[in-house]
Structure 1
Amino acid sequence: MDAKTGKRLQRLRISSQFFFTWLFFFLLLKSGGAAIEHLPQTGFFFYIDPLFLWVNILAGPFLQVFLLALIPLIMTMVFGRFFCGWVCPFGALNQFFTWLGSRRQRKKIAVSRSSLRLKYLLLIILLVASLFASQLLGWLDPFALLTRSSSVALVPGANFLAQHALQSGAQNQGWVGKIIKPLYDFSRRFLLTVRQRTFLQAAAIGLIFFGLLLLNLYRRRFFCNSLCPLGAVYGFVAKYSLLRLPLNENCTNCGACSNHCTYYGSPFQDYLKSECVLCLNCLNDCPFAAIDVRFQLPRSGKRPALDMGRRKILAAAGCGLAAAALPQIGVNKKAKAHDFIRPPGAVAEKEFLKKCVRCGACLQACPTNAIQPAVFQAGLEGIWTPVLIPVNGYCEYECVRCTRVCPTHALMPLTLEEKKQFKIGTAVINRSTCYTYADGYNCAVCEEHCPVPEKAIRFREVEVYNFRGKLKKVKQIYVVPDLCIGCGICENVCPRTDAPAITVGAEEEQRENSF
């Protein structure tokens, strides 16, 4: 194929990567800013992910929308790993950072078969663990990883930097301010959030994300080649694909085609269909137009492939069993209750842990920043699953965003009326710190903010001795458990500066049935 055609195909690939990356971030950002009735299909990229199809089959009930994941699988049987090189947003980011480090990578590095095998072994570990209700796929799935990292670290960090940079520029009295102020007003209206979002583990999740991207400066598409379980799925199917990049009679074995190959392959020596993501860099690098693009039926003869080895496969399966077993033997498994709060619509805890893929879509959608990634509140297997922390934010009474964006229905979709009746916990008053009990003061902040029409927080007038020893009448607050839905706004707005005098726990929580 001539260089001009190769250049056109490469530009088409870059345009495709740019479009799908833009689409991903557009849907992600819109999920946190659009009106509830106009929420976009933020789960689009999850629905075309075969790993999420696997999660849905195991956890049930089956959602027909995940059948969309069969489309890229079928297309992979025709075109090879086009999805990784042309569609995947995280793959596009890895490709971009690989391009940034291309000068460092001019020196020829031999293809490391062990690093290419690693993602297949990780896939086996994750699949075996998921068979035993230990949901670990979301840790490395590229869409879950990118959504979680963007929601917790990338978007809040970009918002903070843009907010301060544009605000400083807009306050400039000179020509700079005249240019920046309209941009600042536009950004505040359409892009920036009024309230700066903060998250637990933002630094850790952000460091993991940027660390994976920076590794591309050392090795081309490091995550895609060595760690991505979705890439392993497509790699297995791509071995039998019809599209090939055969060499013609012009080839002189100069090796130029391997200079920018994303998996350090050598098309003129050992072309691995399972690893080629169709970046088409080889078409541009070849000075003799010696590489063609053709559709050919798979040959019955021996084809180059990665030899996994029976021992490695059995070892990976054993690691998957261990990964599934270890979280199940923790002491928290014997606990009759837990003290963390799940968002509204959450299914039973055991089922929730099977369904939740730690994608963080609900974190981005929550308008009050109440939903946070768990640290160890829910045990080892609950790391990065969503929990509601009232001190940081409260569950908005007129909002169902988190239940609408959850791709696996770990949070079941609720109507607004259903959500208003959904009990996620119960408020409890600490009489040793509440002003109306401990200090003899009248305080109505929590009662005023209680969104329940019948008021789950009420007053009763009593005579008490205040801290000065004087007898006075005080309206002491109390909670009506049957009316409280556990939204947490009372804890969030409590005026106590040391610790909230009213807290919300998971007592009497309601869990949705997914069947």
Structure 2
Amino acid sequence: MLRKIRIVAATICFALITLLFLDFTGTMHLWFGWLARIQFLPAILALNVGVIVLLVALTLLFGRIYCSVICPLGVFQDIVSWIAGKRKKHRFRYSRALSWLRYGMLVIFIAALVAGFASWAALIAPYSAYGRIATNLFAPVYRWGNNLLALLAERMDSYAFYSTEVWLKSLPSLIVAIITLVVIVVLAWRNGRTYCNTICPVGTTLGLLSRFSLFRPTIDTTRCNGCQTCARNCKASCIDAKNHAIDYSRCVVCMDCIGRCTQHAIHYVPRTRAAKKAEHPAAPEKQTGNNSRREFLTLTGVLAGSALLKAQEMKVDGGLAAIEEKKVPKRATPITPPGSQSASHLAQHCTACQLCISSCPNQVLRPSGNLMTFMQPEMSYERGYCRPECTRCSEVCPTGAIRPITVAEKSSIQIGHAVWVKENCVPLTDGVDCGNCARHCPTSAIQMVASNPDVADSPKIPVVNVERCIGCGTCENLCPARPFSAIYVEGHKNHRII
């Protein structure tokens, strides 16, 4: 029964967290965005004391429930291990803990965080690793499926679905996601929870706490017949059946051992009861299946609501001529999202889970290729611009790297300023009137003036009021110059209010 409860709760959490990375309508985040905020590392970086205390208390009470129910990478490993178990039964065995590797990885992880290399430390963080896998590998497949449904619906004169663009945001990020997926799948396929108990810093940290958990699986020596079925089905390889001992620092409380024991010799009971049983073992004869000895852990399942797709306008160029794609300009300072406050604040708090990137409806955010901010979000405007009414990235960020802001606040945050490039400007290169940047600037920071003050009908060129520009990128995106825009945004290391 306990195993079934754990599986149901884990399945619901895993499905909803995955949908957070796949959903491009923003509907899921309204209802289940809190699932990203209760992940361990994001809560630490956000200094979310309430969540941290809750997870610590949960571990001290019930063991590593977090790893088997809440952590998406942990549940993903269980799925892979379950599939592998269909081919080979009883494939695990007890092995000693590689303490030097576990604690060594934890020390390296903490040192990287303290030194300011949060993006590199996040490479082995479980939530961030799964987020990159979902964003770079699962999301494109999900969106292709959505586009197929949109095509079929359109042929039936239905607009219940709308197509969305699928494109490669970052090759390095895709490569990292593929490597991470291969490593996780291979380890889980062969040895179950090897990653959790040798590499994962969150698993090691919670393992230290779970040694003192109140409830824990305990082997009743009076019933155990030494068949070792529990050890051969323990994906954490933490059950020493010969000595009737369990390494609670590695046990993820999956309840598989309880469900597989034919003698009902393993119970999930309070530590005090387990101690008394060890001091005063019951007589082997006249054993009755007294179910009152079992303590059932009840987990409140998350109710999954149906997500309604929002209708959205489709963009079409309307022209017949081939349009050359824009290229990324060379920015001296990268642009960070509104709400991130500064480049240093983003770098220190971001886990590079890429939830904001997958949620951006304007195709503005993409993973950074800079070594110091590797795979963390940065902005570029070749495919869209940062709309003043959109605050999606600040709403979904679970770590506080992008702090929540209102629409009114966003309109006054200057994340960069526009820079005009004379050599690319259409009125000067082609001799035609333009003014696209000035017409669409949401803050009226661009004015068109005569290129030659002495000639009234000379071609008009843009002049940028740096004090009013907020760096939204509307001008850069809508500039007709190709392949480089005649006006682009230079980022600010520290944002300011204008």
Bin the TM-score by the shorter chain.
0.7 to 0.9
Q: Quick one: distance in 2 between partners of 1:162 and 1:116? A: 46
Mark the runs of 5 or more structure 2 residues left unpaired by the alignment.
277-330
* Kept in 2: contact 1:257–1:267 (CA 8 A): no
* Kept in 1: contact 2:441–2:475 (CA 8 A): yes
Deviation at 1:256, TM superposition (A): 1.6
Give the one of 470, 473, 478 matched to 2:463: 478
The equivalent of 2:255 in structure 1 is 280
Q: 1:294 aligns to what SS in structure 2?
A: strand
Deviation at 1:30, TM superposition (A): 6.0
Q: 1:505 aligns to what SS in structure 2?
A: strand
1:43-97, CA deviations, whole angstroms, 9 ceiling, x for partnerless residues? 4433452x344434xxxxxx5x432221221121221112212332221111011
The aligned runs of 1:372-383 (5 Å cut-off) are 372-376=366-370, 380-383=371-374
1:203-259, CA deviations, whole angstroms, 9 ceiling, x for partnerless residues? 224303422442222221343233221111111111112223223323221222222
Give the one of 424, 437, 449 matched to 2:415: 424
Instruction: Give the helix-richer structure, 1 or 2.
Output: 1
The equivalent of 1:400 in structure 2 is 391
Does residue 86 of structure 1 match 2:69? yes
Q: Quick one: distance in 2 between partners of 1:100 and 1:211? A: 15
Q: Quick one: distance in 2 between partners of 1:403 and 1:109? A: 44
The equivalent of 2:14 in structure 1 is 21
The aligned runs of 1:292-307 (5 Å cut-off) are 292-297=267-272
Give the one of 445, 449, 461 matched to 1:460: 449
The equivalent of 2:57 in structure 1 is 74
* Kept in 2: contact 1:119–1:227 (CA 8 A): yes
Give the one of 97, 101, 122 matched to 1:138: 122
User: Structure 1: which amino acid aligns with 2:70?
Assistant: V
User: Structure 1: which amino acid aligns with 2:263?
Assistant: F
Q: Quick one: distance in 2 between partners of 1:289 and 1:342? A: 57
User: Structure 2: which amino acid aligns with 1:284?
Assistant: G
Q: Quick one: distance in 2 between partners of 1:68 and 1:414? A: 21
Deviation at 1:287, TM superposition (A): 2.7
The equivalent of 2:45 in structure 1 is 55
Give the one of 206, 214, 228 matched to 2:177: 206
Residue 99 and residue 362 in structure 1: after superposition, are their counterparts in 2 closer, same or farther (change >3 A)? same
The aligned runs of 1:37-56 (5 Å cut-off) are 39-40=30-31, 42-49=33-40, 51-56=41-46
Does residue 223 of structure 1 match 2:195? yes
1:383-432, CA deviations, whole angstroms, 9 ceiling, x for partnerless residues? 11211011233111111222232233222322211211111111112111
Residue 115 and residue 207 in structure 1: after superposition, are their counterparts in 2 closer, same or farther (change >3 A)? farther
User: Structure 2: which amino acid aligns with 1:289?
Assistant: H
The equivalent of 2:306 in structure 1 is none
The equivalent of 2:4 in structure 1 is 11
User: Structure 2: which amino acid aligns with 1:341?
Assistant: I
User: Structure 1: which amino acid aligns with 2:226?
Assistant: N
Q: 1:459 aligns to what SS in structure 2?
A: strand
Q: Quick one: distance in 2 between partners of 1:479 and 1:115? A: 61
Q: Quick one: distance in 1 between partners of 2:462 and 2:344? A: 36
The equivalent of 1:351 in structure 2 is 345
User: Structure 1: which amino acid aligns with 2:106?
Assistant: L
Give the one of 154, 166, 173 matched to 2:138: 154
In terms of mean alpha carbon deviation, does 12-21 or 75-84 score higher? 75-84
Does residue 262 of structure 1 match 2:229? no
User: Structure 1: which amino acid aligns with 2:254?
Assistant: C
Structure 1 residue ranges (4+ consecutive) displaced by more than 6 angstroms after TM superposition: none
User: Structure 2: which amino acid aligns with 1:265?
Assistant: C
1:424-453, CA deviations, whole angstroms, 9 ceiling, x for partnerless residues? 11111211121112232212322232222x
TM-score, normalisation: structure 2 = 0.78
Q: 1:84 aligns to what SS in structure 2?
A: helix
User: Structure 2: which amino acid aligns with 1:238?
Assistant: S
1:443-501, CA deviations, whole angstroms, 9 ceiling, x for partnerless residues? 2322232222xx2222123469xxxxxx9732222322222211112212222232222
Q: Quick one: distance in 2 between partners of 1:54 and 1:401? A: 22
Q: Quick one: distance in 2 between partners of 1:285 and 1:414? A: 50
Residue 476 and residue 226 in structure 1: after superposition, are their counterparts in 2 closer, same or farther (change >3 A)? same
Does residue 502 of structure 1 match 2:496? no
Q: 2:204 aligns to what SS in structure 1?
A: helix
Q: Quick one: distance in 1 between partners of 2:81 and 2:223? A: 29
Deviation at 1:200, TM superposition (A): 1.4
**What percentage of aligned pairs have identical amino acids?**
26
* Kept in 2: contact 1:198–1:369 (CA 8 A): no
* Kept in 2: contact 1:43–1:406 (CA 8 A): no
* Kept in 2: contact 1:31–1:405 (CA 8 A): no
Q: Quick one: distance in 2 between partners of 1:277 and 1:299? A: 21
User: Structure 1: which amino acid aligns with 2:138?
Assistant: L
Q: Quick one: distance in 1 between partners of 2:212 and 2:352? A: 32
Q: Quick one: distance in 1 between partners of 2:398 and 2:38? A: 8
The equivalent of 1:323 in structure 2 is none
Count of residues in Structure 1 that have an aligned counterpart in Structure 2: 435
Does residue 368 of structure 1 match 2:370? no
Q: 2:123 aligns to what SS in structure 1?
A: helix
Deviation at 1:112, TM superposition (A): 4.5
Give the one of 476, 483, 489 matched to 2:474: 489
Residue 393 and residue 80 in structure 1: after superposition, are their counterparts in 2 closer, same or farther (change >3 A)? same
Deviation at 1:154, TM superposition (A): 2.0
Q: Quick one: distance in 2 between partners of 1:76 and 1:339? A: 43
User: Structure 2: which amino acid aligns with 1:426?
Assistant: H
Q: 1:510 aligns to what SS in structure 2?
A: strand
* Kept in 1: contact 2:22–2:134 (CA 8 A): no
